[in-house]
Chains A and B, each alone.
Chain A
């Protein structure tokens, strides 16, 4: 029986150590240590032996049992450590599963980035309706009575009002600046606000020209606000849009609603100022007109131009987004084409 036990010890330990799976280990455990297991049967037979033998062999059998339990636990641990959920090593170059698509329009993205920048400078966001009147679109903005922009050729007048004048002649707004007068009339000065939105011009379209485009305008009005301070707005915007300092130049420009007025050019990002098709070989791209509100505009807004002055900037977001991502056709923005829109995250 002692020999029998020794043999069981050797074969058992060997079997446990080489068991390939948790399941086969469990059946081995049953085989040796189960209720009807080999070792259990031997222990049952001990009663027939003499006291001494029983004691010795009992001790041996218990030692074997202990060593079996330990071996099984060790093997179990070993198997778990080396276990995998997959029997076959999968192709790990297969891409991960997709997530829900969707996204904001690239111009909305840019607009929100700018909103964040201006909100951090304590600017309010103001929205004006898209349909306005000649009074707010032109008269209040110091446009001369015969300015070409007032023509049907340039501005989308509403049917039935096109031959009227002033407050009765209605149009899709040709620019945002009228909104500044509405805001100032209501809230007075000092004021700091932005008023983004879509504007409309009657023109023929091509890769560079659109009938509807998105502008972003900001205005500060304060006592004795200086031109040099206005430059800060310019920098804030461009840095926010491009994420780094952008070479800009400021030059004289003429717009009826500003005095003095200027144009801000930024270095063409496509050619780094070398000159290319995008910048028409100039190396610079006009991005923002701006300037101090004309005294007549301030008067229209109910403010005394001897006390209040300010600074406008206006950015065409379509153009800026095109520059930022090197988009070659402005008409894509309003195409609603997912193949285009999905590219912007």
Chain B
């Protein structure tokens, strides 16, 4: 919302020397967020008044003329101009060389210099409104020819050379306030409210608004509020004898400077009153309103065309302004009807000043996608008493600007008035909660300039009466009073006070600790990169990974139609991320640890709330070149994860169903010692690899249910005494049937050696078909002495015999 400091000053005595920076800072710190402060005079910097002395034809161009213009210098300036409305002795706006204009009203502003225009030198430019961003103030006429700004009529006494900013009176500060920060302050949606706030900040004096009374003894105008839950007050005043013309320049200028468009004197008065008081008003053409006003809900399917041309189909959730014959003439609090508002031929008007219920009005506005200056204000909940201010100011402006118009009738229907709120606040409360020393005087001098009425009996309690303009939901409890006092004192004046904290018990959060240990293991030991993805997943990747959408939770309004499901597994998004990175890298590793969602009914807090099943998962993807090595690398990471992640150990087995996405030869499940499935791992199948568009040869994937992991109390380390006598290390190569596994070999030799580890597998020329060669390394130990060559041979032979006997192994 924009506000003019000049306008505010008409209601308030404020220090004359406030700078834009100071104002922005103080308002931002104490009240609302100021986004920007601008000065309209900057639009016409360096631009001066000129008087056209002579006009001659341009020798080279039919549409241009050459003028001599008096701009207050000794000599006149020669200026080439294309304005169709030029005449001698005309008072015009001249941008001399050095001034900046928007060329033909388009693009960025450019600095002018003396230049030839079609062969004739032009010292600057006679400006059209669009070239100085003044179209709102000097709207283009119906003519299609280019026109320049003509000030002759408005400012006949303007002196050539005078700055245009001075003549038009543009020097002002326009404060642009962030609308969101004004949400809770309906009182600040008008200049008068801002004037009050600034008086409180700067200690200025606030003048009362004119309280023009409606003359008594008028004809009674019928006003009926049918829906008393949605309209609390409706005042109608009928004026006769309107002369529809432009509003005076000073009024148009104010309306324009805060971003609205001047239209005609009546519309401008209604807008001016709204901008001044924050109370929207509207004027209907009286000849279209028969037998008074009725405020009622719309019938299902009822039609209404609005001023902006929108044709609405209404429902009973919408509130209408109708005439006595029940014809709809306006959408309450949002916009007037096209047929019955101010028309070019309007002579008499019905002025509406009303109060509507905020919530239902907002629903109507958002349902019809209509956000108007009026609806924005009504949505914030306005006090009913503000109608009086608006009626008073309107009558005064009408008397001033439409001296021939007369009030002929008036009517009002008042359902209820905004009630004053009384809040007792103890000084103890203010002091303890703020942590700042606040005396009764401090509180009173913070509150009273804002309109609060405070009585204090010298005891601990202040009795605060909230002014009606703050009593529509903004201030209603003592905490609100605390805020008012604190912000007026200024938060930057508060000191830091360390809180007193009792350290009663140490905090142990094992699940959090192991989750962090897992992430750190994967990042720093395993060399994987943690990623974050969105919770929604693409249908394509759900399909590729064989996801079942029946169990998935979907969004009502998803970010895109093909991403309506929320992840039930981390794999689809992880794979999509791997595809993306495969454009730039051949080998890499990614992981993500976050929640997945499936349909269900879980109550984490209270029974009536039933949420989907939400569990934390960990997923890992490795991309690389050699399929089985990649799989083994993943298995190696997963095998070490429990130790480093400080969770109970797990094991691998091939059980249950293969994952849809996995290579049918290369997949495993991860299970705990009870056999419960904790997770799964596998190589992405050639089909899924191709379907996903991966640009690397292969990808290995694992997913683990983190919630099923049991965190350990501390690190899982156990000291083992160092061997007293040296260990003997030997390699052994054996040839076996293809279907004999390493696990079987390990089981066979486990009890015969100190330890054994797999080294490599070999298939090829020296190995018969259907067989494989396997090499492993074992170590032998003795508790009684260094092993002799004979003892070593004996042990090795035992090992070989057992492998031959149990697994049919042959030595290579």
Contact = CB atoms under 8 A, between A and B. Distances in A.
Most chain-B CB neighbours within 10 Å: which of A107, A151, A159, A336? A336
B626 interface: no
B473 A136 contact: no
B556 A102 contact: no
A229 B499 contact: yes
Contacts of A342: 529
Interface in A188-239: 190, 192, 198, 200, 202, 211-212, 214, 220, 222, 224-229, 231-232, 235
Interface in A106-153: 107-108, 112, 115, 119, 121-125, 127-133, 135-136, 144-146, 148, 151-153
A131 B614 contact: yes
Interface stretch (A31-39, A82-90, A250-258): A250-258
Interface string A267-301: 00000000000001110000000001011000000
A122 B433 contact: no
Nearest to A306: B429
A162 B434 contact: no
Contacts of A282: 35
A202 B501 CA distance: 39
B611 A133 contact: yes
A292 B433 contact: yes
Contacts of B522: 102
B553 A167 contact: no
Interface in B554-571: 554-559, 564, 566
A82 B407 CA distance: 115
B479 interface: yes
Identify whether the interface residues of A are mostly helix, strand, loop, or mixed. mixed
B554 A182 contact: no
Given A104-B523, A260-B479, A231 B496 contact: yes
B184 interface: yes
B587 to A, nearest CB: 10
Most chain-A CB neighbours within 10 Å: which of B185, B358, B528? B528
B554 A129 contact: no
Contacts of B525: 100
Contacts of B519: 104, 108
B436 A105 contact: no
A260 B559 contact: no
Interface residues of A, number: 93
Contact of A102 (B527, B533, B595, B609): B527
Nearest to A223: B432
B580 interface: yes
A16 interface: no
Contacts of B29: 249, 251-252
Most chain-A CB neighbours within 10 Å: which of B535, B612, B614? B535
A290 B290 CA distance: 54
B629 interface: no
A202 B557 contact: yes
A100 B527 contact: yes
A338 B526 contact: no
A130 B535 contact: yes
Contacts of B362: 146, 148
Contacts of B486: 227, 260
Interface string B381-425: 000000000000000000000000000000000000000000000
A103 B492 contact: no
B480 interface: yes
Given A131-B553, A146-B362, A159-B564, A192 B580 contact: no
A157 interface: yes
B524 interface: yes
B555 A157 contact: yes
A154 B516 CA distance: 32
Contacts of A102: 522-524, 526-529, 589
Contacts of A100: 525-527
Contact of A226 (B497, B557, B612): B497
B363 interface: yes
B520 interface: yes
Most chain-A CB neighbours within 10 Å: which of B35, B483, B533, B581? B483
Report, nearest first, the 6 A-B pairs whose CB atoms are least far apart. A228-B435, A226-B435, A100-B527, A260-B483, A336-B577, A229-B499
12 contacts: A101-B527, A105-B531, A129-B604, A129-B614, A146-B358, A152-B557, A212-B535, A259-B477, A259-B482, A260-B483, A260-B487, A338-B584
Interface of B: 28-33, 35-36, 181, 183-185, 358-359, 362-363, 366, 432-436, 473, 477, 479-480, 482-483, 486-487, 491-492, 494-499, 501-503, 507, 509, 512, 516, 519-520, 522-535, 553-559, 564, 566, 573, 576-577, 580-581, 584-585, 588-590, 594-595, 597, 604-606, 608-612, 614
Given A212-B534, A259-B482, 11 more contacts: A100-B525, A102-B524, A102-B526, A122-B503, A122-B507, A157-B557, A212-B532, A226-B435, A250-B492, A334-B532, A338-B585
